[in-house]
Structures are given as C-alpha cells and as structure tokens.
Chain A
C-alpha cells in the first residue's frame, strides 16, 4: 500500500500530550479528526511540566467526543479516514486500563479492518524497570523489537495486551501498524530542569514526538505488518537508540538534552 501522503487522519486520545504533539505536527498536512473522552476546552492542566495542551481545532480539522472502549463510536470516528492514530491510555485505574489500553486497541484495529484502512500508528510505553528479573533494566543496546515483559504492572500489562491484539490484526489482515514506544518526555530545551541535573536513558522531546507521526504516515510499507520503534533522543547511555526509526521511517530526533547530561560549567 502506498504511504499516506495526504488525506484524513483520526487521532484517538487526541487530548493527551502525545496526541497533541501528533496533531501539531500533522495539521496543515492532513485533515484531522481529533477524538477523546474530553474535548479540548476541558483539558487545562498539563500532564507534566512542559507537556503540551490541546488547542481547539480549526476547520477543516474537527473535534469529536469518542470513547475508545465503545466500538460503534470508534467505527464512526474512523469512517472516511485514510489512517488511524491511537494515543489512548489509562494508567492507574484497573477497569479503565483494560477497557482503554486493551479493548480500545482492539476496537481501533477492528474498525480499520472493517473500513479498509491499512495504516495505523499505535502508541505505548516502554517501561524502564518493572521490578523483575526478566525486564531489561540492566541491559544495554536494547532493540525496539525486544519482547515486552510487563510482569504484573497494570499499565504495562494492559498496554502489552493492546499491542499484541494490534499485532494479531496486523498480521492476519495485512495492516501496516507502526508502533511507537516512549518512556519519559521533556520539552526540547529540557524545560525547568537545571543544567547538569542528569538524565535517564530514555527521553523524548515533545517536539520530536510529534514529528515522528508525520514520518510514519509517509514512510513506505514497513518490512513486517507490525513494526515497533523507540521514539527517543539519541542519548549517550548506550541503552536505547532511535536508529531503526531513522532507517525505516527517515525520522531522527532533533533534541538531545545535552545540557542535562553534561556537567554544568563551574560557576565563576
């Protein structure tokens, strides 16, 4: 299938900061249908310091209230779209986590198949440590394709299941699913953090986060129906790298947060 160079794109979970970043990067290039269980005017507190907030979309973009755990709503929101982006997430609440992270993923993939939409961008977390010996906390050069071992963490496990469901749909129905995994986010200039305050091994700037979606829509058909990418800065820790995204999507991060992981110059 040819890449999605123009057309209509639905973003599920558009009220969250990843969805907002995606919308900012895609508007003007695509006509967006921004969906969430809260409309833009209702979201006034950033998820974290420096995290972007949604803006009211201007025509031809539109906003729609959609509960991703409701298939009928997802199907109608996906109708007429050329690609779907799933940024929905619930972290701490048991029932909602499974309904959104798992059933929501199922609904998005199923709607894509029903409507003949091939390209989906799915999103999820990469958990740095999960407090068990089969995680990757003590590994280096961890590839994006590493099997996720969510253990018993609610967020990790429910998102893992959503990913596996999406993979199954992709493989069975010949979809082109590009999955982005993230860990920590910061504004590209490091936000309020002080020079030399240190930085963990997996961070993404909000600005880089959004741009990756544009590349994912425009990329040629990936080698496998379900491809996972670490959308992260190229940090010196030797643990996580964005090079697969560069190779297959042509995307590379612009921010590297150097002022945080380099020693601050001594004050005179």
Chain B
C-alpha cells in the first residue's frame, strides 16, 4: 500500500517512517517553508496549495497527516496566522486532493493537549468535549481535527484521528505512537458505518482509554 506522510521534517514523522517503511511503500512530504533541514527526506510542498498537493496523492491509498501534531511556537501575529492557515487550509486542500485521487483513508495525528484543561482527576476519554486553549498553537490541531471530522461525515473517506501526548514517557512514547499509527493504517471498520474514528493514545494513566483497545483499532500501549 502506498502511503503519504506529511510533516516529514518532524520527529513523529521520522519515527513513523522508520517503522513503517518495511511494510508500506512510503512517500514523504516536508514543509516547503524553509524551516526543514535541507537534508530532510521528503518532497517539499506547501499543503495549502492544490497544485503542490495533487501530485503527492497520486496513487496513494492512505495518508498519514502528521504535520498538525507538531507543536508550533509562532513568534508574532504573522506566524500565528500561518500556523492556523497551515492547519486548516492545509488539511482542507489535502483532503480534497485525496478525495479526487481516490485515497481511502486519512490518519491524522492530533494532540492530547486539547483535553488538558480538564482537571487531572477527571476520567476524560474520547467522548468528552475538546477544550483547546485559544493560542494559535493550541487551536491548530483542533482545526485540523474539525476539518477532517466534518468532511468525512459528508464524503466517502475514512478519517482516523489519534490524539497523542508529548512524545516521551510522560505523554506518549515513540513506540506507542508509532504502533498506534500503524494500527490506524490497517484497521478495518468492517460493518461499522462511521467514517470518523477518534482515539486517545496515551502511555500514561491520565488519558488512558479503553476505546483504542477495542475493535477496530485494537491497540494497546507497550508493557512497562
């Protein structure tokens, strides 16, 4: 299966690519804004521009849209604008190109930060309302989620959203993140008609959720 990975310059995408390249035929794309190291693998593309995205999705069966996961630190108002635009328009353009090219599924990496406003002692799971902060950085993954969620209500494409913690022992370990991504790529909803699937992927107690362990994702964190 040919899989497109966005955000190739990000640690999450690099981890995912390293793990998945044995099993899948990968095509990587990295940000074209000049922030990526020039040695980073991946086709540079601005996901907001259809002409740049359309070639990326040709022949692709699934997209790992990992770019929205990367935590941005916009320094000024112009940078904030770009962060929001990348998340929203970038996801929108990617999705439309995917639909046109017959892509079957989009796996989105979002952030558990969206749920962090709940008190720590609340047993928050995927059925709880997201409460993002109003900074551009916090809103960005939320906008990507909304774009994908609403579109898949209306369009024949599967959207699987994995909310991940910060990469590491106190959030989501690299191993857990990548194993969840791999499961999301191959999970089979079978008779389920929903096209939107949302999971919390956490290596700690705080956002541990039973949903991910059930069909169709069938994912569990690594032991220990």
Contacts and interface: CB of A to CB of B under 8 A. Distances in A.
Interface in A184-199: 196, 198-199
B196 A138 contact: yes
Contacts of B121: 262-263
Contact of B128 (A132, A201, A260): A201
B128 A237 contact: yes
Nearest to B206: A263
A261 interface: yes
Contact of A261 (B122, B130, B193): B122
Interface in A4-42: none
A80 interface: no
Contacts of A140: 129-130
Contact of A200 (B120, B127, B129): B127
Most chain A beta-carbon contacts within 10 A, residue among B120, B121, B130, B196: B121
Contacts of B152: 133
A263 B129 contact: no
B61 interface: no
A198 B124 CA distance: 8
A263 B127 contact: no
A263 B127 CA distance: 16
Interface in A230-268: 236-239, 260-263
A261 B125 CA distance: 10
B114 to A, nearest CB: 12
B192 A237 contact: no
Contacts of A201: 127-128
Interface string A137-163: 110110000000000000000000000
Interface of B: 118, 120-123, 125, 127-131, 149, 152-154, 192-196, 198, 205, 210
5 contacts: A132-B193, A133-B193, A198-B123, A198-B125, A198-B210
